[in-house]
Amino acid sequence: MNYRIKHFESIDSTNKLALELINNSPPDEGLVVWADEQTEGKGHSNNLWESEKGKNLTFSLVLKPSVIDPAEQFILTQMISLAIRTLITKFVPDEAVKIKWPNDIYIAYDKVAGILIQNILKGNEIDYSVIGIGLNVNQETFRSDAPNPISLIHYTGASVSVEDVLSKLLIEINTIYSRLGSKNYLEKLNKLYLENLYLYKKQGNFREGKNEFKATLEGIGEYGRLKLRLENGKIQLFDFKEVEFVL
């Protein structure tokens, strides 16, 4: 895949601009919208993504993943999550780096990266996918009420080049993306995602609405739903936003 990078000092949202470009003058696959600052950057469930200008990596990648059936679009989440995790382990090789379902990346119990994927369907295909990524790199102090943000610098002890992080991450993404046409590789991808999933095969605390409960994370069901085994032995599937982890 040939990447084409559009770099901005400050815009409202890289995902928003990428979507506008698709609507107005459809770009080739591989467009990267990278901003030093997002004034309206959002994460999952429309949560604001705090990022100090120039300190972190915030960008959106435009893909045309026609090989993926819309019903299996969670593959994109697995791909990007694993690519980010692989990159982070190269900076912090001695730390536990996990994916918290569906697509947050944690170092130990602290969040270092988040993903927002917006797909545009055309017939029975994914016409475009806009992959928004926020990765904390050099920000040392966080002022929002987000419970547990962390940056790479807290582990490296020295500033890291944001441009270098972007370059390396795009390579990791392309390595996985180029293999998605293989059914055997998709099985491997799912296995890797589960192996690196926070609390996989372990009991944890969860919240559904106001109800907190204990359950064992058994895996991922259809459409990327979280598969939990309740204390009474019953298996229950939860969609995005239906359940949250209690850390």
pLDDT in tens, 200-233: 999 999 999 999 999 999 999 999 999 999 999 9
Which stretches in the chain have pLDDT values below 50?
A: 44-45
Q: What string of DSSP letters covers 100-158?
A: ETTTEEEETTEEEEEEEEEEEEETTEEEEEEEEEEE--S-----SS-S-B--THHHHSS
- The encoded tokens of residue 239 equal 């969609």
Architecture per CATH, domain 4-195, reads as 2-Layer Sandwich (3.30)
CATH dotted code for 203-245: 2.30.30.100
Residues of the chain with CATH 3.30.930.10: 4-195
Q: Which residue in the block uniquely carries the two structure tokens 């969040």?
A: 111
pLDDT for 50: 74
Q: To the nearest 5 percent, what fractions of the chain are helix, strand and coil?
A: 30, 35, 40
pLDDT for 159: 96
- The encoded tokens of residue 160 equal 């890291």
Percent with pLDDT over 70 in the chain: 96
pLDDT digit string (tens) for 136-165?
999 998 887 667 899 999 999 999 999 999
Pair 76, 187: CB distance under 8 Å: no
Residues of the chain with CATH 2.30.30.100: 203-245
